[in-house]
Structure 1
């Protein structure tokens, strides 16, 4: 079944104005032609889109569902137009990258800057997702490349070891643990923990480690953003485990103490992943080589 954009725009106009007459006027169509378009569309879809009333029309649930898709289509068309127009301004490609919060905070920015400087004609978009969401986005084609923490959850991805990081701990300056330089995870479980939203890789790792110890993770507050975590720790609402890079920076800005997390699992590997294919597109291959340079040939 083919749906033309004129008819879809008409449906959207009628839904907004609650009137076939005003919708037709808005789309510069004769009333009879507009009525026929709506009737033909209802016949093709097999559903009623509008309930005719004495003072106009009321959209049905089927119409509301269709309108949601029409608005989504408009957004996609706008993005398509914007991206194509960029080629006239010298842009030669678009690279969609998804990454987890830790990678964005610790290691990815400097490499994106270097890649952008070397490839000024390639536009980069970056989306902040959990590691599981990053892998799904790459596997489903919503992102060209993803940076996430192990483990690999989707066999459709080809991966490279990109970088390593280490989790650290922030506690309030006057906290009972502040006299120490290192701390075991079990010691943190006696206190309220401030962490990222459910699904974040560090949060899931802590939950698993707490279960292994037969303990409960007292996740008192969960937020989005490491800076929010640091501010809440400073306020004395709990302690936090977060990537070492931002943790070290926050220890210089906020009234908090940085502690080393004395656990083997505190070391995290960041992976770069793309959809497995016989030959990568040239732009994507350059990005992979930039972040994970191939070993020199002997």
Structure 2
């Protein structure tokens, strides 16, 4: 009879995702020696090599890939069972992990989640900013249940639910030559000094498009707040690229927002998940709330 426990499965999944037993051990809070022993125990129990040692860590064998798929299903089912049963306890608490691209994190989500958190005082939300392509990968691999992405990326086999329009705009001082146009190309942007937002998925997204054109973005300064970015733009330090959902921050400033004339700049925020019926009760509540907010916004 094959014997293993949930810790073994969590360790194995973490080791595969992290590319090493060391990172897997850190993720599940085990000593390296104990983690190695558990992996060896799994291999002995199944009678097959599960991880192949490579110069920079480990990678799954064919048997390991098969175990990975089953382990992720078992852990996801266990998590849903735990959440559903905990809901019967009075005052039960829960935590939802939500992945988001920059546009949603700076605009749509802060406005949408306030009411949800007030209506569900026992639920907390961990929001992690990632590029849309990375969100698709992480949700596909069950590292998170829900993500908000730009719908211009390939969602693979995920279920996609449109939320709101969130095009990309170039923001320039009203006196800047580009401010008088109807739209701006990415090539125009590459000629300009930029004011950016520090450490955002949007920054990485723009940098990737620049690399594809054999160029790089030239930043004068990067700041944390949208308001600070806009004030620098207003002063003529440079131009910025901002999601449509952040444009209310421009009110009263001597700046102008011009749509970015690229297909990948015309986008819509969308909620993604593996399957709606696989969501835990807590994640399902947030899923339904965000869709309701988006529906009400479009009708308003």
TM over 0.5, yes or no? yes
Partners of 2:223 and 2:271 lie apart in 1 by 23
Instruction: Find the counterpart in structure 1 of residue 268 from structure 2.
Output: 269
**Residue equivalent to 1:55:** none
CA deviation vs aligned residue, 1:53-82 (integer Å, no higher than 9, x gap): xxxxxxxxxxxxxxxxxxxxxxxxxxxxxx
**How far apart in 2 are the matches of 1:279 and 1:141?**
11
Look up the match of 2:113: 112
Say whether the 8 Å CA contact 1:193–1:217 is kept in structure 2. Answer: no
Instruction: Supply the distance in 2 between the matched residues of 1:230 and 1:89 (Cα, whole angstroms).
Output: 47
Aligned to 2:182: 182
Please say if residues 106 and 165 of structure 1, whose CA atoms lie closer than 8 Å, have aligned partners that are also in contact: no
CA distance in structure 2 between the partners assigned to 1:222 and 1:138 by the alignment: 33
* Cα offset, 1:172, TM superposition: 3.1
Secondary structure in 1 matching 2:251? helix
8 A Cα contact 1:189 1:216, kept in partner: yes
Q: Provide TM-score, normalisation by structure 1.
A: 0.56
Specify whether residues 245 and 276 from structure 1 end up closer, same or farther in structure 2 by C-alpha distance, changes over 3 A only: closer
Task: Specify the alignment match of 1:96 in structure 2.
Answer: 97
Find the counterpart in structure 1 of residue 131 from structure 2: 130
Q: Distance in 2 between matches of 1:253 and 1:210?
A: 35
Give me the whole-angstrom Cα distance separating, in 2, the residues matched to 1:139 and 1:107.
23
Q: 1:272 Cα deviation (Å)? A: 0.7
Residue 230 in structure 1 maps to residue 230 in structure 2 = yes
Gaps (5+ residues) in structure 1? 3-39, 46-86
TM-score normalised over the length of structure 2: 0.56
Task: Tell me how far 1:269 sits from its aligned partner.
Answer: 1.0
CA deviations 1:139-170 (Å, max 9, x no partner) are 33332311111244453532211221122222
Task: Provide the C-alpha distance between the structure 2 equivalents of 1:287 and 1:223, rounded to a whole number of angstroms.
Answer: 32
Tell me whether 1:257 sits opposite 2:255 in the alignment: yes
Q: Secondary structure at the match of 2:176?
A: coil
Q: Shift in Å at residue 243 of structure 1?
A: 0.9
Structure-to-structure mapping, 1:1-298, within 5 angstroms:
90-153=91-154, 155-178=156-179, 180=180, 182-185=182-185, 186-196=187-197, 200-201=201-202, 204=205, 208=209, 216=215, 218-221=217-220, 223=222, 225=224, 227=226, 229-249=229-249, 251-252=250-251, 256-261=254-259, 263=261, 265=263, 266-276=265-275, 278-293=277-292
Q: Any idea what the Cα deviations from partners look like across 1:75-122, whole Å, max 9, x if unmatched?
A: xxxxxxxxxxxx999243221111112101121122212222332222
Say if 1:170 and 1:274 are closer, same or farther in 2 by CA, change over 3 A: same
Which structure has the greater CA radius of gyration? 1
CA contact (8 A) 2:145 2:273 kept: yes
Distance 1:253 1:290 in 2: 32
Partner Cα distance (2:256, 2:207) in 1: 18
Structure 1 residues 149, 221: CA separation in 2 closer, same or farther (over 3 Å shift)? farther
Closer, same or farther: CA 160–167 of 1 in aligned 2, 3 Å: same
Aligned length: 217
- Unpaired segments ≥5 residues, structure 2: 6-32, 39-87, 296-300
Is the CA contact (8 Å cut-off) linking 2:165 and 2:268 kept in structure 1? yes
